[in-house]
Amino acid sequence: MQPTPAPSSPPRDSPPLRQSSPTTAVEDHPLEYPDPPKNNGSAPFHVLAALFDRLQNERKPDKRRKLLASWFNHWRKEIGPDLFPVLRLILPQKDRERAVYGLKEKNLAKAFIKLIPLGRHDPDAVRLLNWKKPTDKYKTSGDFPTVLYEVVNKRSSVVEGSLTIDDVNEYLDQIAQNMGKSDVQSKILQRIYNRSTPEEQRWIVRIILKDMIISVKENTVFGVFHPDAYDLFNTCSDLKKVAWELYDPHRRLNDEDKAVQLFRAFAPMLCKRPTKKIEDSVKEMQGRAFIIEEKLDGERIQLHKRGNEYFYCSRKGKDYTYLYGKHVGTGSLTPYIDTAFDERVDEIILDGEMLVWDPVSERNLPFGTLKTAALDRSKKEYNPRPCFKVFDLLYLNGMSLLHRSTKFRKRNLRSCLTEVPGRIEFVTEYEGKTAKDVRLRMDDIMANRGEGLVLKHPDAEYVLNGRNKDWIKVKPEYMDNMGETVDVLVVAGNYGTGRRSGGVSTLICAVLDDRRAMDDDEDQKYCSFVRIGSGLSYADYIWVRQKHWKPWGANGPEWLQVSRKGHEDKGDVYLEPEDSFIIKIKAAEVVSSDLYSLGFTMRFPRALSIREDLTIADCMTATGVLENIRSEKKRKMEDDDDKPKKKTKKTKKKPVIMAEYQGINLKDTPVVSSLFEGYKFMVSSDPKSRNGAADKNSLMQMIHAHGGKCVQVCRDDPNLLVVYGGQTTPYDIKLIMNKDVCDIIRPQWILDSVAKEELVPLTKKCFFHATTARMASDDYGAEDSDTEDEAPPSPPGSSKTPEPTHREEVESRIDPSMAEWFDVGAKGKPVATQASDSGSETEPEPDEEFDSENEDVKPEPEVEFEEDEDWEQIDKDDNLTSTQSQNVAKKVGLAVVYLCHDQPNAVWREKEDEDVRMGDDEEAMHYDQELIFKHLCFYLDSPSNARELGLPVKAKDETDVEKRFNEIAKLIENNGGRIAGLDEPKLTHVVVDKRDISRRQELIKRTSKPKRRHLVIAEFIEVCIEEGTLLDEDEFMP
């Protein structure tokens, strides 16, 4: 046992500090603030509104940082050092000083209809109330502040607003204090309406809704404000404390200031998802024995304790002490765990997961029942109750343990605490050394209905709000081959026939196309991906059919990209994105298909649920789908069997490139000059261009004719120039950009150089993408570095003048009196404009990445090919047939396909996987809407079948169970399904009777290869038939 620090003495009297209303702290321990720095008045709100406009329309992250830095510097110079009034308006979602306003879009619409005023049937009143609904006259919809601005702009007589930033904060405080009092809130909004312009009202409403859309994340704002701001916010979750403690940019915090404190909410450490395959995650442990913990499906909770005082709060800083108990006499948890702590423990902070334990079934209940269980005051012995699963110790008797190793913290944790079964327990953990250990533990977790695993490095420190490779979470769906699961947007539908007639029956779904650069005023595009007709219940269809469907028309909506072939992705009706919804789909696999715009679709897809908790912003992206395809097979970890491999004689062969990817023969093209002598190019065609291949060949001939050399494969050669001029960013081009080795130039540079008979300078406009080294060159910087990315060069002879961008229009409207606020070149007090300069312990995510605290919605890291993977070796085996020798492994996203590599078993394993593909035939892609079990194969765990397999039978009513399985078998076969044995390769479901689930774990073990099967109770069959569709198996697990 490690020595435990001696209990700290009672807190000494501190110097008098200014106190305010408590935020994310215990009532008896309100946060203490230093005296606020003094400001000299305030600034007009229209100056801040102008900053919001500039940030919203600026595409470059670096320029946004400079705008913020310039604005902050000017505030400090003209107003004073206290930036809290500004920060709480820029980051309203982080301001805990104000309670919720109780005003959503509908209530705001009603309030503005009264104060404008508008008649009940006035078109604009109807438009405000139905702000999501587009009309023929008004195309803007789905964004309430913009709709409100357009309505107010026609009526407001205020030309110049008179509100200051302090005025706005005071009004917002009053609105928050009068939550639920609509009459009082309306009067406050009336004052705002009378004193502000429509543009200013639009931003005030955004602040109330906490939906700023200014393309700036919290870590960027904190990084510009002060180098240590992000770290301090992670320890206290309080914007005011950050603003007042760090008002001086020159003051730096010490390590103690960045440590966790008792009764102060902090941002906990988070997990990363595994990359590519589990072996790579194990490599991140650097050969050390690592900790394997069970991942729990509960609510992340931090517990603070000093003596008889307790404090519970969530990951987001929400105080739950009222639920679990402030002291031993109150709450649903504290009275039962107070004796669990060692008598030497005076002060402690624990990190863990709050679950619901059911003592009757002896299992954890779903997360949604937690609050019900916590509020239960009946204290009955067998009622579900909260159970705190602890996995980390962060603070002990006055000492912060953040910088101690995971192994040290866990060892001391077990010395400080004794488990109270069903109330407070240690998370289940094991020691692992190899990927095989992870697989074995995952099998145990699956058998016990667990959620997944977390791998932890034994030497890892605890990084507040950090997300690094020291903690890696592994869920069954990341490694298992039970199928692909995605969240996609419903974009269109087809009418049904027969029993599904009378409305939309089949749904067409799409993913967000993020593979191309998009202008600010350009609508987002979606790619058709999959269609589904199974999985939704009768009640779901009633809800779906009530949506605002529109006729498809001749070509469908402009924002939806569909295939040029077939009718699979064309609907009878469609939904606008703002009227649509996200649906969770599960399928057997993702396969290539030219019947959908993405080029891929899902085989045997079905709906799992309608995700009402998600918005259209949570839709799966095109690159996300391609990433999953690119990384071997999602949800499957490679077999690590120890079977001896048959040795075969290996002979190197020259790699073979398929004919359609070979370059043209340039031997017959005469060389007329040495213009490009010494230059090496790889020309990539535009996949969106009909003449892409012809343009590529012409360009290659031109390069060769002027002394250049052309290659077909882009290696990591900094002297290689990639030539690409498309509007989108294909996956192979994106991989090259991520490596940052080769420059990507536009074809216009080739044309201009040939036309002028000399190499023109490689300035910024010549590049589709420039490497970091190139951007430092003199030629690259010859043009104004602040100009927006150039559009592709116009063809020779074109003299069209580009229209001014929306950003330029915004800049042109800036009042000259505000020019100093946006002088990005002004010298002021130094601020940290980038996280890398801040010395921050918590590395903020870049602006280009998702600003989400949930790692599951973040994209996978870019997967790069190793250099030695560019060419694969081919076995020489005289016994292979010609068909087998044609087995190829395609590298997704690259324009080259290579033959299978030198492991002889690789061909046979792939063939084996093909043999057990789901479905009655290889061509089948969808479930049958009438015969719902067609393409599915079932094993029935009847007593007679169990005995044939040598398994024990414990059912009391064996005859009744056998009779019931005979009825289930008939139902399956009458609805297109097939009954098979347990060793059937195409087996998809194992059906058990809930009266005898004693063979459950053995069945899971026997059916986990080559991919896991669904284990369900017999009621699954009956309910599916009753609903007329396949339902989610997870709801029917034994």
Active site residues: 295
3-state secondary structure of 852: coil
* Residues 918-927 as b or e (16 or more Cβ within 10 Å = b): bbeeeeebbb
Nearest to 613 by CA among 586, 583, 585: 583
Q: What is the DSSP letter of 906?
A: H
Inter-residue contact 651 to 876 (CB < 8 Å): yes
What one-letter code names the amino acid at 134? P
Report the 10 Å Cβ neighbour count for 356. Answer: 23
Cis omega before residue 117 (within 30°)? yes
Q: What is d(CA 268, CA 235) in angstroms, rounded to the nearest whole number?
A: 9
Report the 10 Å Cβ neighbour count for 621. Answer: 16
Q: What are the φ and ψ backbone dihedral angles of 185, each rounded to 5 degrees?
A: -65, -35
Query: Looking at the DSSP assignment, which residues form a beta bridge with residue 424?
Result: 388, 420
Residue 50 falls in which region: left (phi positive, over 0), alpha (psi -120 to 50) or beta: alpha
Inter-residue contact 582 to 549 (CB < 8 Å): no
Q: What is d(CA 232, CA 230) in angstroms, rounded to the nearest whole number?
A: 6
**Longest Cα separation, the chain:** 94
Q: How many residues does the chain have?
A: 1038
The tokens for 860 are: 């996978």
Q: What is the DSSP letter of 1005?
A: H
Q: What is d(CA 253, CA 256) in angstroms, rounded to the nearest whole number?
A: 8
Report the 10 Å Cβ neighbour count for 727. Answer: 11
The tokens for 293 are: 């913990």
Q: Is residue 743 exposed (0-12), middle (13-18) or buried (19+ Cβ within 10 Å)?
A: buried
**Alpha helices (H) in 58-181, listed in sequence order:** 61-78, 84-90, 105-115, 123-129, 144-153, 165-177
Q: What is d(CA 554, CA 90) in angstroms, rounded to the nearest whole number?
A: 45
Report the 10 Å Cβ neighbour count for 705. Answer: 17
Report the 10 Å Cβ neighbour count for 644. Answer: 6
Q: What is d(CA 10, CA 774) in angstroms, rounded to the nearest whole number?
A: 60
Could you tell me how far CA 932 lies from the centroid of its own chain? 33
The tokens for 696 are: 């590529």
Residue 843 falls in which region: left (phi positive, over 0), alpha (psi -120 to 50) or beta: beta
Q: What is the DSSP letter of 24?
A: S
Inter-residue contact 284 to 472 (CB < 8 Å): yes
**Alpha helices (H) in 655-691, listed in sequence order:** none
Query: Looking at the DSSP assignment, which residues form a beta bridge with residue 744?
Result: 722, 769
* Residues 575-590 as b or e (16 or more Cβ within 10 Å = b): bbbebbbbbbbbbbbb
Q: Is residue 881 exposed (0-12), middle (13-18) or buried (19+ Cβ within 10 Å)?
A: exposed
Angle between the N-to-C axes of helices 958-974 and 1019-1027, in degrees from 0 to 180, rounded to the nearest 10: 30
Q: What is d(CA 10, CA 15) in angstroms, rounded to the nearest whole number?
A: 16
HSE of 390 in the Cβ direction (CA atoms, 13 Å)? 31
